[in-house]
Amino acid sequence: MKMQGEGLRFAQIFLIVCPSFILFGYNQSGVGGLTNFPSWIRQFPQIDTVHTTGAQKSHNATVQGAVVASYTIGALFGALICTWVGDMLGRRRTIFVGACIALIGQALECSAYTLAHFTVGRVILGWGVGMLSATVPVWQSECSPADKRGRNVVLTGMFIAFGFALTQWINFGFYHMQERSASWRGSLAIPALFALTIMGSIFFLPESPRWLVLKNRSDAAQQTLANLRQKNVMSPEILHELRGIMISLEESSSGTLGLKDVFTMGEEKLFYRFLLCVTLQFFQQMSGGTLISVYVPIIFEDNLQLGASLAKVLAACALTWKFFSCFVGFYVVDRLGRRAAFMISGGGMSMCMLALTVSTSFSHNHTASIISAFFIFLYNFFLPVGFLGANFLYPAEVAPARLRVAMQSISIANQWLWMFVVAMITPTAIASIGYRYYIVFTVIGGLIPPAVYLFYPETMNRSLEEVNQIFHDAPSIMSAVKMSKMRPICEESKGEGMVEEIERRED
């Protein structure tokens, strides 16, 4: 496409990022709203929790959790495989392969007539979405300028939330023809359109300039940067950004840097950076994100004793509200910073989970049900502030260039692992211990603000090379946090003076 600057960034966002993360949210949340359709129950009686009781219901709930969670197992391995193929294939080809695999999984899933067939399709679908979730944020981060990177990448969370909301409204629409298998098959087939959009668009968009430099294609990287920044290919800003990328890659390649090095510290503090990435994704899942997004219809229907139709409407409204709340995160991430977004989000989610624990402890109480519903909506306000977009952005920012895909892939795989744990145990936990289940998420959410305050450096308004330099220069972990609060180069110097300022600092 003959686009430059803003037009090119918008094309990246709406042709690749948008469909990739709608796929993420739609397929993560989709099956949870179909499990009480009569046509679904007739097709898959092994996971019927509507017409069973006692030990049989408990067994079916466990199987249902495993089937729903099989998607996350596929995604976990899909994300992990990117540690090997991400730098070998490049960002664009990895995205294309992920979309192809997701399309195959969707075809298997919506054509299933046995539970095994459905589960295989779900695993393959997850594999493709896992590759997209690990690669697309890296590609977008490496293509975005420092002052717009936060907003550009945080849009991923907005699109995930849109996928969550879309699937609930579609499931509600198909609920009125629930006796026919076309209801759930149609719901599961719709996201194939997004996979086809990715496959048809990705090779019309630019490759990551940092990957091009990594593959010794500096001329192509220079032209790509010029197109992305809408500047002359020989302008000082483009030449200096290219030089910064090359210097960063040279520094990170010293000593033949490899995947095993993420478990070492050294000057680059790789293990510290690795722990920041994986812990952040652990917090994202174990503060209740998947619980509310996937099982909110079941929570409304089983825990709050609401009718099936009303539960689906409320679930769709709650996830639509989450989508609109993403605009708050979009505003916060490049104004208040990543640290503030994480702390506000974590503290708010913990407070909501505590309130949900108390309110759901009163069974068959109409007032308590209203309060529970209110705090589910409030939770869906706090989650997108920091943990539905910024959590994809931050690992790509703190990882060094040569290990960016590997660290992002492992951290996203860790997110999928805990997503699997939550998806697997939630049906049984809700049926067995009820309101006590929310205590776990209350405690873990409460750990987020102090952990972020003490250990997570700020990356707002800094180039990826500047962030790497902070970790390299900091004598200790606490020093990295303090150094990150200093004014970044891009705020201290403007225009052509930026080149001289950075060179002065390098000297």
Could you please report the per-residue DSSP string of 464-501? HHHHHHHHHH-SSHHHHHHHHTSPPHHHH--TTHHHHH
Tell me how far CA of residue 467 lies from CA of 87, 400, 401, 470, 485, in angstroms.
Answer: 21, 9, 11, 5, 11
- In the block, which residue shows the tokens 């450096």? 457
Q: Where are the domains of the chain?
A: 5-492
**CA–CA gap between residue 162 and residue 293 (Å, rounded):** 11
Q: What is the DSSP letter of 324?
A: H
Over the Cα atoms of the chain, what is R_g?
Answer: 23
pTM: 0.79
Question: Which pLDDT value is given to residue 229?
Answer: 87
Tens place of pLDDT per residue across the chain (507 aa): 577 888 888 899 999 999 999 998 888 876 766 777 888 888 888 887 777 777 887 788 778 878 877 888 899 899 989 888 888 899 999 999 999 999 999 999 989 889 999 999 999 999 999 999 889 988 988 888 877 777 777 788 889 888 888 888 888 888 778 888 888 888 889 999 999 999 999 999 999 998 998 888 989 999 999 998 888 889 888 888 888 888 777 765 554 556 677 777 777 788 899 999 999 999 988 988 777 776 677 677 766 666 767 777 887 888 888 888 888 887 888 788 889 999 999 999 999 999 988 988 887 777 877 888 888 889 989 998 888 878 888 888 888 877 887 888 888 888 888 888 887 787 778 777 878 888 999 999 999 999 999 999 998 888 887 888 888 888 888 788 888 877 655 444 333 443 444 344 444
For the purposes of burial, counting CB atoms within 10 Å of the CB of 331, is it exposed (0-12), middle (13-18) or buried (19 or more)? Answer: middle
Compute the half-sphere exposure of residue 462: CA atoms within 13 Å on the CB side of its CA: 25
Listed residue (377, 316, 327) closest to 352, CA to CA: 377
| CATH among 1.20.1250.20, 3.50.50.60, 3.40.50.300, 3.60.15.10 for 5-492 | 1.20.1250.20
Q: What is the C-alpha separation between 147 and 488, in angstroms, rounded?
A: 11
Q: Tell me what pLDDT residue 361 has.
A: 83
- How many other CB atoms are found less than 10 A from the CB of residue 424? 20
DSSP 403: G
Phi/psi at 50 (nearest 5 deg)? -90, -40
Closest among 498, 29, 451 to 243, alpha carbons compared: 498
Tokens in use for 177? 């023809």
Between the alpha carbon of residue 69 and those of residues 32, 125, 168, the distances in Å are: 10, 12, 18
